[in-house]
Amino acid sequence: MSADVKRCGYIAFIGRPNVGKSTLLNRLVGQKICITSRKPQTTRHRVLGIKTTKDTQFIFVDTPGMHIDNKHAMNRYMNRAAKTAVHDVDIIVFVIEATGWNEADDLVFERLEHTDAKIIIAINKIDRLDKKDALLPLLQKLSELKNVAEIIPLSATKGDNTELLESTLKTMLPESDFFYDEEQVTDRSMRFIAAELIREKLIRRLGKELPYALTVEIEEYQHEDGVLRVGAVIWVERDGQKVIVIGKNGSMLKEIGRQSRLELEKMLETKVFVRLWVKVREGWSDDTRALRSLGYTDDF
């Protein structure tokens, strides 16, 4: 490869929910761009993570997990976001789990049939296998799939083989000038990232008690006198959910605010003040108009 040649392109992470797509993106970019948790529906939006080296710009596209369930407006929105990415990128990294292939993986792979993008299968979470030879049956199955350029076992959490994935991606990207400024790491605003960080804390603390009928809307984001002031509304669907989010004597809401403040201060290296409110909007997650008003638009 000539020293003067630059490569740049879009790389989408596609897969069923909770296979580690966001963790893998964060690992490759080298910093936290996307929120993560062990719960499905953590990723709801398409988010770009941008990594620029001397001669290559990787534009990673994190997508929501593709759902078999398409009954609710939220699931339809997430499926549209993921499916749109399939047709707008140069490379698709189809992420699956090392524990095996299932019906949901079949559904995702079927959606890749008509793409012109090159496909890499990333077998994630190999660190959870007691014996690496347990991968052999899965590798055999994957080797029989058509139109797959590479199969790479890796661990997004531990970083195992992620450098191999990056070097493979580099060779597959088209020759092109960079699309983004070399210092830019995402296409999303800090208002968006702040809302997502607050939602991440909610999911991690309330995953067992609360359905995913909550979202976060930033109403205030103002930096003055060396302090960033963030005011956010946590929307839920029922009064009972509001009680859970607030907690006894406001304890849960205070803890969510504290964790969000600490992470934002670490990320932005400035003093942060976070205020949170909880409001009820019945049925918002299955109401297309409500979804749009809360930022779930199809402007992918």
pLDDT recorded at residue 211: 53
Domain for residue 177, yes or no? no
Rounded alpha-carbon distances, angstroms, from residue 161 to 87, 153, 206: 27, 7, 33
| 8 A C-beta contact, residue 73 and residue 291 | yes
State the sign of the Cα–Cα–Cα–Cα dihedral 39, 257, 253, 234: negative
Tell me the pLDDT tens digit for each residue of 31-66: 998 878 777 667 777 789 999 999 999 999 988 777
What is the pLDDT, as a whole number, of residue 289? 87
Instruction: Give me the CATH number covering residue 132.
Output: 3.40.50.300
pLDDT tens profile 243-255: 999 999 999 999 9
**Assigned domain for 94 exists:** yes
CATH number (domain holding residue 230): 3.30.300.20
| Same domain flag for 83 and 160 | yes
Q: Looking at the structure, do residues 33 and 154 belong to the same domain, yes or no?
A: yes
